[in-house]
Amino acid sequence: MFLINSFKSFWLTIYCQIKSLFGKRRMEIDKTIRKWLILLGAELERVGAISEKSDAQKCIYDYCLLIKIMVSEYSICILELSNENKELPARVLLRTLAELVIKFSWCMYEAHKDKSSFLTNCERWTKSSLMEKQKFNKRASECFNDKEIEQNLKECQDDINNTLINIRNMPDNAQLCKDLFGKKGGLYYLILFGSLHEVVHSNLTFLQRLGVTDKNNLVSYDNGNIVIKPMCMACVFLLLKHIYQFYQIDLTAIESEYSRLKDK
């Protein structure tokens, strides 16, 4: 027990030193993310002012606007929590942000070449969402034998059968990362999903790797708080990349900033 406590004390000292060392970079990333979100909002406002849009263009624009608002709210919360050294809730939100951005970016992946691909991919996303809901309600129905749950299960199945029966499911997160990032997909998958999975699902293996700072903040032995902002930045950049690509907006300056900060 003495050795364990000594290790924790030593590790927490190292953690504070690392945090101080990377503090300036983390603040620069913080400001950059906020700036990018403002720029994205301005670009979408400009696009929204264009009155003539096809149904497909209007659908894509409405989704872009919705996702932009969601990503902004998640990102700002993640940055604020990280600034307050609330590593665990920041990582939980980051996991949600990562999945949202990965799925939406996958839907947008070929949209600049063929707008119909976006609509098809959204249908696949919808079906996968309903299948997850169906799976949840089926298990709940088996466990609790509740009439309301059974009704939810029936409605979910009807939705699938009536409109999406011939639509394929969306790929799982691993395949989405492979489709988006190619050979680097495995690394992105491990970083954005693997390292955050334990926190979301409260795995005991993760809880055993936690320490407490002198200010009673929980920190993990993998220096999780230090990588939260770079990971958040990667998610926001990915969103901008595909929206800018679709609307043919120059991404050069943002791409340069991203490359500089991620390699710094």
Please tell me the distance from the alpha carbon of residue 6 to that of residue 28, in angstroms, as a whole number: 34
Highest averaged pLDDT of the listed ranges 77-81, 196-200, 209-213, 226-230: 77-81
Please tell me the distance from the alpha carbon of residue 246 to that of residue 216, in angstroms, as a whole number: 46
Q: What is the model's pLDDT at position 4? A: 45
**Under 8 Å between Cβ of 231 and 191:** yes
Model confidence at 1, pLDDT cuts 50, 70, 90, reads very low
Q: What is the model's pLDDT at position 264? A: 66
Instruction: Find the range with the poorest average confidence among 98-107, 112-121, 179-188, 216-225.
Output: 216-225
Q: Mean pLDDT of all residues in the chain?
A: 87
Residue 245 has pLDDT above 50, yes or no: yes
- 7-49: per-residue pLDDT in tens? 445 444 444 444 544 567 889 999 999 999 999 999 999 999 9
The domain tally of the chain equals: 1
Instruction: State the Cα angle at 128 between 187 and 150, rounded to 5°.
Output: 135
Q: Which amino acid appears at position 12 of this protein?
A: L
Domain span at residue 209?
2-262
**Under 8 Å between Cβ of 119 and 107:** no
Model confidence at 3, pLDDT cuts 50, 70, 90, reads very low
Give me the percent of the chain exceeding a pLDDT of 90. 63
Instruction: Calculate mean pLDDT across residues 169-187.
Output: 93
Instruction: Calculate mean pLDDT across residues 40-59.
Output: 91
Residue bearing the bigger pLDDT, 10 or 190: 190
Q: What is the model's pLDDT at position 222? A: 64
Q: What is the model's pLDDT at position 223? A: 60
Highest averaged pLDDT of the listed ranges 11-15, 204-208, 223-227, 252-256: 252-256
